[in-house]
Amino acid sequence: MSFPFPPPSPVESVRERGASRVGLARIAALAVLLSLISGFIGGVIATQVDESASSSSDEPYTQITAAPVVSDADSSDVSGVAQAAQRIANSVVTISSSVDGGVTEGEATGTGVVVTSGGEILTNAHVVEGASEVRVRFAGDTEPVIATVLAADAGNDLALLQVNAAGLTAATFAKPGSVRVGDQVVAIGYALALDGGPSVTTGIVSALRRTIFTDSGALNSLIQTDAAISSGNSGGPLVNMRGEVVGINTAVARGDTNSSANNIGFAISVDEVLAVLEQLRSQASGDAREEGFLGVSLEPRIDGGVGSIISTVQAGSPAKQAGFVVGDIVLAVDGEPVNGQAGLVAAIRDRSPGDSITIDLVRDGERLTLTATLVARPRD
């Protein structure tokens, strides 16, 4: 769902290409200061690709759509940082993209996570955006293999790749809903594209269900962490102490002349990742998904309160039928906080026509809960 919105309040982009043009990586690293940038967390990469598969990029790709491995371990089952890093090592790859034209012309690097043993790899959409060629390199290899971009969702900043390989080690994803504020997490990646092995940093889950603004709109359901995340590592995993993926790292906050930011990084939560993964697979198979439509416009609050204010309600829309009125303050959608004028769009972006949503709001000082059933977006 998206609505006629005024442009978001001025915020510097939270994303930049995974790594800058070869030879300019260190200059790009300095340029990210005092801005909100992509944090790229790559990973300790490993896993040998079958030699015959690696050497032949002309053979047809076979998409493997097995269900990702999801953990059923209890949150109390913990281990050390080194063990966590080792457990995810064989499921992380380095991604290189050739970009022709535009301001990001050159080579960009990022990270991916192996989803299936047959070659499905998940990464950030901006890592492969505009790429004329995408290459994936596995640990122990000196040469990359060509990858195909099966599908990309810029709004959710995730993309699904396929390489012609077999016998890969798929990552284990944490159980949705199992991540808690205060949980220790580990980020692994090639910070600033430095020579040598990957960097391993650790921290905690600082907050859940954050929303940040990007050039493509808004990212929601984010995990905030104080684990160090740096440019050059986009699309890699944030893992718990069992080495299970709890999120895909995508952004880091930097201070500017008016504010300061320390150790504030963001990862797309496993709950969101698993849902978008299935949508990417559907997109890859040619099934176009229609977006849901509610029929309101929003404006930000300027009185210091939370939520967003409904400025218009379209006649005959699901919002009108559900009883929304101008001036309602939207607080949450299906429990997802709505902060800022694009928060509602982000909160229901992945819903489809026919889905029902529950919206918490305040009207004239009274808390209300309304339910609306989305319809297909009207065509212009």
Question: What confidence score (pLDDT) does residue 31 get?
Answer: 42
Q: What angle do CA 175, 373, 353 make, to 5 degrees?
A: 75
- Residues in the chain, how many? 380
Q: Which fold has domain 292-376?
A: Pdz3 Domain (2.30.42)
β-bridge mates for residue 219, sequence order: 212
Q: Are strands 265-269 and 292-293 parallel, antiparallel or unpaired?
A: unpaired
In percent, how much of the chain has pLDDT > 90? 39
326-350: per-residue pLDDT in tens? 999 999 888 888 766 667 777 777 7
The Cα 170–Cα 93 span in angstroms is 11
Sorting pLDDT into bands at 50, 70 and 90, what band is 237? very high
Question: What confidence score (pLDDT) does residue 196 get?
Answer: 63
175-202: per-residue pLDDT in tens? 999 999 999 999 987 667 666 666 788 9
CA dihedral 234, 239, 245, 251 (to 10 degrees): -30
Q: Where are the domains of the chain?
A: 1-63+79-283, 292-376
The chain-wide mean pLDDT, for the chain, equals 79
How much is the average pLDDT of 204-219?
Answer: 84
β-bridge mates for residue 159, sequence order: 123, 152
Half-sphere exposure of 2 (CA within 13 A, CB side): 11
The Cα 20–Cα 264 span in angstroms is 22
CB atoms inside a 10 Å sphere around CB 130: 15
Active site residues: 126, 157, 234
- Give the pair of three-digit tokens for residue 87: 């457990």
* Between 59 and 95, residue with greater pLDDT: 95
Q: What is the CATH number of domain 1-63+79-283?
A: 2.40.10.120
Between 28-37, 291-300, 352-361, the lowest mean confidence (pLDDT) is in 28-37
272-305 burial code (b ≥16 CB/10 A, e <16)? bbbebbebbbebbeeeeeebbbbbbbbeeeeeee
Tell me if the pTM is above 0.85: no
At which residue do the structure tokens 């953990």 appear?
71
**What number of H helices and E strands is found in the chain?**
7, 22
Strands (E), 259-380: 265-269, 292-293, 296-300, 308-313, 329-333, 336-337, 356-363, 366-373, 375-376
Question: What confidence score (pLDDT) does residue 94 get?
Answer: 87
113-150: per-residue pLDDT in tens? 999 999 999 999 988 998 999 999 887 677 889 999 99
22-77: per-residue pLDDT in tens? 444 444 443 443 344 444 333 333 333 343 344 444 554 455 567 788 887 766 55
244, 269 Cβ separation under 8 angstroms: no
